[in-house]
Chains A and B, each alone.
Chain A
Amino acid sequence: MKTIISAHNLCKSFGKQLVFKDLNFEIMAGDTVAIVGPSGIGKSTLLNIIGQLEVPSSGHIHYEPSLFEGIHIPFPFVFQEHESLLPWLTVAENLRLIQKDVSMDALIDVLEAVELTAHQNKYPSALSGGMKQRVGIARALLCHSKCLLMDEPFGSLDEALKIKLQQLILSIKEEKHLTVIMVTHDQSDIERMANRIIDLRQA
């Protein structure tokens, strides 16, 4: 397996408050990595750094160049439910927002992958929590990137929905050869999905 992301002596602080320091890790192509630790320890901050939304205070991350080749959005996120979709746009409009010239076929393809074809003209307020998260996954899939970053995507879902969504993500991951990096504090998420763990309690 090829290393696609490697972090070296990563440190992050906000002002005088140190979030983590000397963090080293490697992520291989096809991995499902869970970033774990209690609330407030910096899991989302680390995910933001990996996704290039924030810069580390020191240290650096090396990315395999192929992650960026011909890809406009190399690190699409699946967010928590409340920040996931724009409530004033329909499902199809939410998807088109990130890629204006997306073809109808491509749109149908990703909606089929998440089993939401029949709901493309609905507003998010008409969808359940699990469906909203599936739209979030469909949006990320539209980017055709090699990585998928997820920030506590199952946080607000009940157990049955959570398991169904996790199975869906794993099957899409296998089919599209994705690398998944997710933030979670739930042990069962880790057991069901992850093959590698970055534990911030040790950083």
Chain B
Amino acid sequence: MDRKWCIKIGFIAFLLGCWQILAYSGVYPEAFIPKVETILVRWWHLIREDHLLMRVAVSLSTIIVAVAIALALSALLILIGKKSYIVKECLKLSASIAGPIPGIALLPLIILWLGLSTEAMMVILIHAMIWPLWTTLDLSVTRIHNRFNRFMHAFKISRWKRLKDVYFKGILPDLLTGIEVAWGRGWRALLSIEMIFGIVGNHSGLGWLIYERRMYMDTAGMLAGLLTIAICGIVFESVLFKSKVVEVHRENHY
């Protein structure tokens, strides 16, 4: 097994061990600090009886759609920014104004304007993702343009090849980094929104599940929800964003 994985598993075992010591010490009641086995049993119950996996799927599909829209919008903004200096400057200003505003802070306004709807949820998610994505990608495209513009002109590289072989392949590591950052911000925003929105249409996600468990004073259920978020985080971080292919590609760029 990979050394990194051994360290990760060892650290998780350490955290679980500390939790168990606290739970078994009897300092706090079971309703506050449930034992690990109680959380796991509750987790299994939520999977079987409470459609936990379906809720994860709802949250994931929402976030995937939002990432796709944010990516498409970022690409569009980069293209427009390249055509017009004024637009580019306005975009930079917008990024510095809107970028630091957490999605949740916009929630009251968005609910006022769009109601408790899927559109409102998407607007907040896209707001959370688009600014870091645009900033990363725009810097990357500019860097590649400055470095290889003369080469592309001198060797009369066609538009399609410029787009595919120079710009797309060139920005790929930054694109993955941008998606990684956007994903993290979007994931946080989504869970917060779900806790407030609850059920939108026929769907309810992971955030609502945690909030729902709170209403029943089901601490083990809340912790089982958080455990699911942690597992999702580890899977995305370790499998999706740090895969061998991505690492090799990054190595060849720098």
Q: Contact check, B253 vs A48: say whether CB atoms are below 8 A apart.
A: no
Contact of A87 among B150, B154, B157, B253 (CB under 8 A): B253
Contacts of A168 in B (CB 8 A): none
B161 within 8 Å of A (CB atoms) = yes
Q: Contact check, B154 vs A75: say whether CB atoms are below 8 A apart.
A: yes
A77 within 8 Å of B (CB atoms) = yes
A88 within 8 Å of B (CB atoms) = yes
Stretch at the interface among B27-35, B163-171, B205-213: B163-171
Q: Contact check, A88 vs B253: say whether CB atoms are below 8 A apart.
A: yes
Q: Contact check, B154 vs A83: say whether CB atoms are below 8 A apart.
A: no
A88 and B252 in contact, given A97-B161, A98-B157 (Cβ under 8 angstroms): yes
- Shortest distance in angstroms between A54's beta carbon and chain B's nearest beta carbon? 9
User: Which residue in chain A gives the minimum CB-CB distance to B158?
Assistant: A100
- Shortest distance in angstroms between A85's beta carbon and chain B's nearest beta carbon? 9
A73 and B251 in contact, given A83-B148, A88-B170 (Cβ under 8 angstroms): no
Number of chain A interface residues as a range: 20 to 34
- Shortest distance in angstroms between B136's beta carbon and chain A's nearest beta carbon? 17
The residue in B151, B156, B170, B254 that gathers the most chain A C-beta atoms within 10 A of its C-beta is B151
Complex CA gap A45/B208 in Å reads 62
B5 within 8 Å of A (CB atoms) = no
A72 within 8 Å of B (CB atoms) = yes
Contacts of A98 in B (CB 8 A): 155-157
Complex CA gap A77/B251 in Å reads 27
A72 and B251 in contact, given A83-B147, A83-B150, A86-B170 (Cβ under 8 angstroms): no
A86 and B153 in contact, given A125-B251, A125-B252 (Cβ under 8 angstroms): no
Q: Contact check, B155 vs A76: say whether CB atoms are below 8 A apart.
A: yes
| Chain A residues at the B interface, C-beta cutoff of 8 Å | 48, 51, 53, 72-73, 75-77, 79, 82-84, 86-89, 93, 97-98, 123, 125, 139, 143, 149
Q: A73-B156, A97-B161, A123-B252 are in contact. List 4 more A-B contacts (CB 8 A).
A: A53-B153, A77-B150, A86-B165, A88-B169
Closest 7 CB pairs of A and B: A77-B154, A98-B155, A88-B169, A123-B252, A53-B153, A83-B147, A87-B253
